[in-house]
Amino acid sequence: MYLNDNIRRREYFVRVLLLCFFGAFACSFAFALDRDRTLKQFHHTAWTAKDGAPSQISSLAQTDDGYLWIGSARGLYKFDGVEFTQYMPPAGVSFPSHNVSSLLATPDGGLWITFRPAGLGFLKAGQIKVFSRPEELPKSEAFGLAQDLDGRIWAATLRGLALFDGERWLEIGSDWNLPSERVWAMFTDRDGTFWIGIGDAVVFLPRGAKSFQQTGLHTVGVPRIAQANDGRLWITEWRKHIRTMPAVNGMLAANDAEIGVEAVSLYFDRAGSLWMSDYRDGVKRVRFPERLAGKLSGDSPEVESFGASDGLTSNTAFNFLEDREGNVWASSSKGLDRFSYRPFISLELPAPYSNLTLLPGESGEVWVATTIRNSLLRVSGEKIFKEGGPMEVASVFRDSGGTAWWGNSGGIWKQNRNQFVFFPRPISLTGGIWEIFPADDPGGLWARIGDSGLVHFNNGVWAGRETPKGLPEKGPSCSFKDPQGRIWLGYSNGAVYFLEGGQVRAFSRNDGIDIGKIKVIRGRGAQIWLGGETGLAMFNNGRFSSVNTVGEPFGAVSGIVETEDGGLWLNESHGIVHIPASERGQLLTDAAHRMNYRLYSILDGIPGGPQINYTVSTAVETSDGRIWFATDSGLTWIDPARIEKNNLPPPVVVKSLTTDEQTYQSTEILKLPKGTESLRINYTALSLSVPERVRFKYRLEGFHNEWLDAGTRREAFFTNLGPGAYRFRVIASNNDGVWNEEGAALEFTILPMFYQTNWFLALCAATLGFLAWLGYKWRVRQVKNLLHLQFQERLAERTRIAQDLHDTILQGFVSAKMQLFAEVHDLPPETLKTKRLKGVYELLGQLIEEGRNKVKDLRAAEDDGFTDFERECLKIREEFDINKDMDFRMVIGGTPRPLHPLIGSELLQIGHEALINAFLHSRATAIEIEIEYGLKSLNLLVRDNGCGIDSEILRSGREGHWGLTGMRERAEKIKAEIKIWSRVDVGTEVLVSVPRRFAFKNTGSFSNWIQKFIPTKPKTKNQSGSRGAKCL
């Protein structure tokens, strides 16, 4: 079952849970709407049917996952601050009705639902239990639910009260001292006493008791009971004013109060303010109900009103709810309304007031002038007073004595407190007073009049004094007198000048000012801040520098306020900017520091865009610490000392996963169909204060492990996914940047297609391996065939040469021998000539024999091969008459095997060249040949300990000598690798390695394969000889 079947045996646990819940209530829900603000100073947001909100809302509740649940005649909805979603029961479950009459959220995350005309439901962790059978329901229609501090669930019915015992509903009747009449209201006070309005009476059940007690109060029906912070209980009655409940047996305070409002609902928020609603006048609020005693008229200023004319969805308001972040929600017949905190408070000015110039006044007041024909305004608190005086104002300057000088289209106005004196400009000059700043004479001012440049003014006297030398003829676009008495002037071309002691200093882009037209200059201490058309600049320690930012750079800056704590506030084209004092401090130590800042916008209570043109004074700080800004929709102000921060991290929820074929709502591990490659995951975070500011980061473990910044987007898309297990994680931050680092997760698995399974991939790998092996064998055979073809070509050539030698030279030698024999035969045998001719005859015989042997070698067949390669190498040594002291040795490793004829021939030539270098040029005392019949290759190594070869010769060869080049070319020809190492006075090593598949004949036979596993002992042959050597 979805409910606790053993709830009675677990009452202790439930009580502890509730105590913890309510004990943590103050900490978890510490944020509340400021009672010092009026109802209209809160940020109001309305949702109606066009926004997806249900109408005819009967009940509101918030579960511990942060969702706002809405019961209405159109069904059950949940709201995450952005989207309304109608809750539909899962397949196989149906609601008894779509008409929801009441909701009750429980501390364990559950939600009770009552339906009209009958039926109950309990929703928890995505699972719902519907009670629709008569034996599962109270005997009479239930239209309201409540939970006491002991965790018991009570139902208000048409015929009394019912109590849920975990399995069924028990009727509470005479045995509890309770009549069977309609229950209008239920409420549990802070002491645990359970109060109900039943019939025309109010009764209560002390905690732990089982008998209701009478209050003696007779009414016409009490639809609501609530408790104020001072402990007093307030009640509403049908068609009567709301009032406190009279004292009962000393349980309640006796200071009765009554408010002249016929409310159908009342609610106390956590700050203690009283909210009321009725069917005609919308929402009403009393900020400090604990101060009330006696009767208070409904028209009293202490009773604030907010109706349809103020933006409420309907004057027919019903219920209230304060969420976990302190927002107050009100339901109505047409939609849903929210009252929430915003750091900025707007003040609507009389129409038409625009292009404003601001000046701080006394006691927190601010003076407001406009460029159009409207009088000066004095704003004091929430009140606006028209004071007359200057109109069409474009500039203002306050001197050290507190006198304000206003420049307008016709001249200069002088203001002392509320007294104004007008000094018209000379008739000869045209244009308005665009800028006013002090001159160097006592009481003197400079005024920029239209395009006429600067004109001097002093106490009503206009004089054509010469402009200070060094200043441009055209007047400045802004001015400022700093605490050191310097006069700063900014110009439209981006230049800056300041006057000090009669001297003028000029600065330009070459000095580091690169912010376009100078719109405003301000400063409180040693630093001067300049706002321009393209950003912010700072003057510090005699140098200018542009202010760089993290993220989007500053746009146009029209107003600057530096507060006492060192922070900066800017009226900037994107909104209102706050730079903390800590960031400013880092900038002072490092002018290249990129500053973090907070950008405030319409979402923070600003009524419109910042005023960018007519920027003489668009941001000012008043004496009470508030900072006022001019916008295109009136005024707005903020109190930096009272900025509230939302410290509650938002709960995060993964809503659904959608593939091309289906949407999955389950939060369990999902198994997605085979071949799924693309999907969308919807998620949300339950911060209802400013949901538009909630930011998200997510990652898909198993696909990528880096966090991706999704901004305010509430869905993630993934493509090109393969089969496997994945875990989607998402975290979120609220409107003040407080992150829920734990977030939410969704695990899912994509099943593989048959061609994505491990066995199929292994089969593919094996097939690829087999094909690679076949390719390798084919390539080896191809190379062997090529070598065989080359050998056949060489053999044919050698055969042709052998035939030519036999048919020409050898036959000639034989003929010569025969003729010489005939001549010698006829000569006397003992003569010297005969002996010499016999010697020639014998020499011819030797030559013929050697020629026949050579011809025989040239005609040798391919199948003969090189069967004794080491013997052929030893023949090379016999060509040289070496020194007897020279140590010559040959080492043979492995089992000798026949070589491919071409390989053997070329390898022999490489060895021959290496030995020639060693014998003739190295001056070595030891020469070694090592032949290794290896498992993977045939290796020939020729090593000596002679004078070595110069590195340059080793790399490039010697001009006219081709030995080294020839060895490399022969090695390349037979697919061999040749390495030559040599160091002067150490010796030289030549190593040639020929792959086994090319070097040996019949490499694929079984006998050759088995030889890999039979180790052989190397054989060594030593010979000595003597011969001189010459070093290369």
Give the model confidence (pLDDT) of 689-727 as tens digits: 999 999 999 999 999 889 999 999 999 999 999 999 999
Tell me what the mean pLDDT of segment 563-582 comes to. Answer: 95
Q: Is residue 583 classed exposed, middle or buried when 0-12, 13-18 and 19+ CB atoms within 10 A define those classes?
A: buried
Give the model confidence (pLDDT) of 107-157 as tens digits: 999 999 999 999 999 999 888 999 988 889 999 999 999 999 999 999 999
Lowest-pLDDT range, 307-316, 598-607, 863-872? 863-872
Q: What is the pLDDT of residue 2?
A: 37
For 645, phi then psi, to 5°, come to -115, 135
> Could you write out the three-class secondary structure of 377-444?
EEEECCEEEEEECCCCEEEEEECCCCCEEEEECCEEEEEECCEEEEEECCCCCCCCEEEEEECCCCCE
**Beta partners for residue 226, in sequence order:** 234
Tell me what the mean pLDDT of segment 312-319 comes to. Answer: 93
Tell me the pLDDT band of 866, cut-offs 50, 70 and 90. Answer: low
Question: What's the Cα-to-Cα distance from 833 to each of 134, 439, 813, 843, 1032, rounded to whole Å?
Answer: 151, 142, 20, 15, 46
Q: Which of 440, 470, 469 is nearest to 456 (CA)?
A: 440
Give the model confidence (pLDDT) of 979-1006 as tens digits: 988 888 888 999 999 888 778 876 554 4
**Residues of the chain with pLDDT > 90: what percent?**
54
686 within 8 A of 66, measured Cβ to Cβ? yes
Q: What is the pLDDT of residue 867?
A: 64
Alpha-carbon torsion (945, 946, 949, 951), positive or negative: positive
Q: Which of 445, 450, 453 is nearest to 423 (CA)?
A: 445
**pLDDT of residue 3 exceeding 50:** no
Tell me the pLDDT band of 345, cut-offs 50, 70 and 90. Answer: very high
Lowest-pLDDT range, 218-222, 690-694, 1017-1021? 1017-1021
Tell me what the mean pLDDT of segment 60-66 comes to. Answer: 95
**pLDDT of residue 31 exceeding 80:** no
The first and second tokens of residue 546, run together, are 């542009």
Tell me the pLDDT band of 860, cut-offs 50, 70 and 90. Answer: low
Cα 351 → chain centroid: 44
**pLDDT of residue 879 exceeding 80:** no
Give the model confidence (pLDDT) of 662-683 as tens digits: 888 866 678 899 889 999 999 9
Homologous superfamily of domain range 652-756 = Immunoglobulins (2.60.40.10)
Tell me the pLDDT band of 251, cut-offs 50, 70 and 90. Answer: low
Q: Which of 766, 776, 716 is nearest to 746 (CA)?
A: 716
Q: What is the pLDDT of residue 307?
A: 95
The first and second tokens of residue 190, run together, are 């802070």
Tell me the pLDDT band of 1007, cut-offs 50, 70 and 90. Answer: very low
**Residue entry with tokens 């301000």:** 522
Tell me what the mean pLDDT of segment 184-206 comes to. Answer: 95
Q: Which of 58, 99, 115 is nearest to 321 (CA)?
A: 58
59 versus 815: the higher-pLDDT residue is 59
Reading phi first (left if > 0) and then psi (alpha if -120 to 50, else beta), residue 151 is in left
For 539, phi then psi, to 5°, come to -110, 120
159 within 8 A of 181, measured Cβ to Cβ? yes
Tell me what the mean pLDDT of segment 542-571 comes to. Answer: 94
Whole-angstrom distance, CA of residue 619 vs CA of residue 268: 37
Strand duo 142-147 + 153-157: pairing: antiparallel
**pLDDT of residue 1016 exceeding 60:** no
**Residues of the chain with pLDDT > 70: what percent?**
88
Q: What is the pLDDT of residue 491?
A: 93
For 162, phi then psi, to 5°, come to -130, 145
Whole-angstrom distance, CA of residue 970 vs CA of residue 906: 6
Q: What is the pLDDT of residue 16?
A: 38
> Mean pLDDT highest for which of 388-397, 531-540, 664-673, 775-784?
531-540
**Residue entry with tokens 């000048």:** 497
Cα 16 → chain centroid: 41
Q: Is residue 59 classed exposed, middle or buried when 0-12, 13-18 and 19+ CB atoms within 10 A define those classes?
A: buried
Alpha carbons within 13 A on the beta-carbon side of 404: 25
Q: Is residue 71 classed exposed, middle or buried when 0-12, 13-18 and 19+ CB atoms within 10 A define those classes?
A: buried
Give the model confidence (pLDDT) of 257-288 as tens digits: 999 999 999 999 999 999 999 888 899 999 99
667 versus 250: the higher-pLDDT residue is 667
Alpha helices in 805-935 (DSSP H): 811-825, 832-858, 869-878, 901-921
Give the model confidence (pLDDT) of 951-969 as tens digits: 777 777 777 667 788 888 8
**pLDDT of residue 427 exceeding 50:** yes
Please check whether the two domains, 7-340 and 468-637, share a CATH topology: yes
The fold for domain 7-340 equals Methylamine Dehydrogenase; Chain H (2.130.10)
Tell me the pLDDT band of 1028, cut-offs 50, 70 and 90. Answer: very low
Lowest-pLDDT range, 298-307, 696-705, 733-742, 874-883? 874-883
Tell me the pLDDT band of 813, cut-offs 50, 70 and 90. Answer: confident
Tell me the pLDDT band of 328, cut-offs 50, 70 and 90. Answer: very high
Give the model confidence (pLDDT) of 458-476 as tens digits: 888 888 667 888 898 888 9
Q: What is the pLDDT of residue 495?
A: 95
**pLDDT of residue 384 exceeding 70:** yes
For 75, phi then psi, to 5°, come to 130, -175
Q: Which of 1028, 1022, 778 is nearest to 921 (CA)?
A: 1028
Tell me the pLDDT band of 1026, cut-offs 50, 70 and 90. Answer: very low
The first and second tokens of residue 213, run together, are 């007690």
Mean pLDDT of the chain: 86
CA 466-470-472 angle, to 5 degrees, is: 80
**pLDDT of residue 1031 exceeding 50:** no
Whole-angstrom distance, CA of residue 928 vs CA of residue 949: 17
347 within 8 A of 47, measured Cβ to Cβ? no
799 versus 4: the higher-pLDDT residue is 799
484 versus 860: the higher-pLDDT residue is 484
Give the model confidence (pLDDT) of 430-439 as tens digits: 888 888 999 8
DSSP per residue, 249-297: TTSS-S--EEES---SEEEE-TT--EEEE-SSS-EEEES-GGG--EEE-
Q: What is the pLDDT of residue 23?
A: 43
Whole-angstrom distance, CA of residue 506 vs CA of residue 121: 78
Helix (H, G, I), strand (E, B) or coil at 89: coil
DSSP per residue, 951-1007: HHHHHH--TT--HHHHHHHHHHHTT-EEEEEEETTTEEEEEEEEEHHHHBSSTTSHH
For 847, phi then psi, to 5°, come to -65, -40
Q: What is the pLDDT of residue 668?
A: 67
Q: At what angle do helices 901-921 and 758-804 cross, to 10 degrees?
A: 70
539 within 8 A of 527, measured Cβ to Cβ? yes
674 within 8 A of 753, measured Cβ to Cβ? yes
491 versus 836: the higher-pLDDT residue is 491
Give the model confidence (pLDDT) of 202-217 as tens digits: 999 999 999 999 998 8
List all residues 6 or more positions away from 401 whose beta carbon is below 8 Å from its beta carbon: none
| Other beta carbons less than 10 A from residue 904's beta carbon | 23
Instruction: Indicate the DSSP class of residue 606.
Output: -
Tell me the pLDDT band of 8, cut-offs 50, 70 and 90. Answer: very low
Helix (H, G, I), strand (E, B) or coil at 51: helix
Lowest-pLDDT range, 454-458, 593-597, 726-730, 839-843? 839-843
**pLDDT of residue 29 exceeding 50:** no
925 versus 666: the higher-pLDDT residue is 925
DSSP per residue, 703-765: TEEEEEEEET--EEEE-S--SEEEEEEEEEE-TT--EEEEEEEEEEEEPPPGGGSHHHHHHHH
Tell me what the mean pLDDT of segment 82-92 comes to. Answer: 92
**Residue entry with tokens 């289209």:** 409
Lowest-pLDDT range, 230-239, 364-373, 661-670? 661-670
Q: Which of 624, 628, 625, 648 is nearest to 637 (CA)?
A: 628
| Other beta carbons less than 10 A from residue 52's beta carbon | 15
Whole-angstrom distance, CA of residue 285 vs CA of residue 305: 7
Tell me what the mean pLDDT of segment 728-743 comes to. Answer: 96
| Other beta carbons less than 10 A from residue 416's beta carbon | 11
Q: What is the pLDDT of residue 880?
A: 66
Tell me what the mean pLDDT of segment 44-58 comes to. Answer: 95
Q: What is the pLDDT of residue 1025?
A: 40
DSSP per residue, 1019-1030: EEEEEEEB----
Quick one: CATH architecture of 468-637? 7 Propeller (2.130)
Q: What is the pLDDT of residue 787?
A: 67
> Could you write out the three-class secondary structure of 358-390?
EEECCCCCEEEEECCCCCEEEEECCEEEEEECC
The domain locations on the chain are: 7-340, 468-637, 652-756, 758-858, 865-1025
Q: What is the pLDDT of residue 9?
A: 40
Whole-angstrom distance, CA of residue 406 vs CA of residue 396: 4
529 within 8 A of 517, measured Cβ to Cβ? no
What CATH number belongs to 865-1025? 3.30.565.10
**Beta partners for residue 71, in sequence order:** 59, 76
Q: What is the pLDDT of residue 1013?
A: 45
220 within 8 A of 200, measured Cβ to Cβ? yes
